[in-house]
Homo-oligomer: A and B are copies of this chain.
Amino acid sequence: MSDKTSSVSLPTHGVDSSDVDALSIKGRVTINDIARLANVSKKTVSRVINDSPLVREETRQKVKAVIEAYGFRPDPQARALAFRRSFLIGMIYDNPNPQYVVNIQRGILDVLETTDHQLVLQPTNRSAEDYYDRIRRFIENHRPTGLILTPSISEDEDLAAMLRELDCHYVRVASVDLDEPGKLVRTDDAAGAAEAARHLARLGHTKIAHISGPRSFRSVHQRLFGFREGLSEFGLELDPALLIEGGYNFETGMNAAEDLLTRRDRPTAIFAGNDEMAIGVYTAARKVGLNIPDDVSVVGFDDTPMASRIWPSLTTVRLQIRDMGREAANTLLHAVSEGDMPRRSERFTPEILLRESSAPPST
Contacts and interface: CB of A to CB of B under 8 A. Distances in A.
Number of copies: 2
Interface in A93-112: 98-99, 101-103, 105-106, 109
Please tell me the size bucket of the interface on A.
35 or more
A104 to B, nearest CB: 11
A305 B77 CA distance: 40
B86 A250 contact: no
Contacts of A140: 28, 73
Given A101-B98, A102-B102, A310-B310, A77 B120 contact: no
Query: For A76, A102, A279, which residue has the most chain B Cβ atoms within 10 angstroms?
Result: A102
Contact of A109 (B81, B123, B283): B123
B105 A118 contact: no
B105 A121 contact: yes
Contacts of A283: 309, 311
A143 B78 CA distance: 12
Nearest to A144: B118
Contacts of A120: 88, 118-120
Contacts of A311: 282-283, 286
Contact of A76 (B76, B142, B280): B142
A279 B119 contact: no
Query: For A120, A137, A282, which residue has the most chain B Cβ atoms within 10 angstroms?
Result: A120
Contacts of A101: 98, 102
A80 interface: yes
Contacts of A137: 73
A306 interface: yes
A86 to B, nearest CB: 6
A289 interface: no
Contact of A250 (B1, B73, B280, B309): B309
A88 B143 contact: no
Given A78-B81, A305-B306, 14 more contacts: A1-B339, A73-B137, A73-B140, A76-B86, A77-B86, A77-B142, A98-B99, A98-B101, A98-B102, A109-B121, A119-B120, A279-B310, A283-B309, A306-B310
Please list the 3 inter-chain residue pairs (A to B) with the smallest Cβ-Cβ separation, ordered nearest first. A98-B102, A77-B80, A98-B98
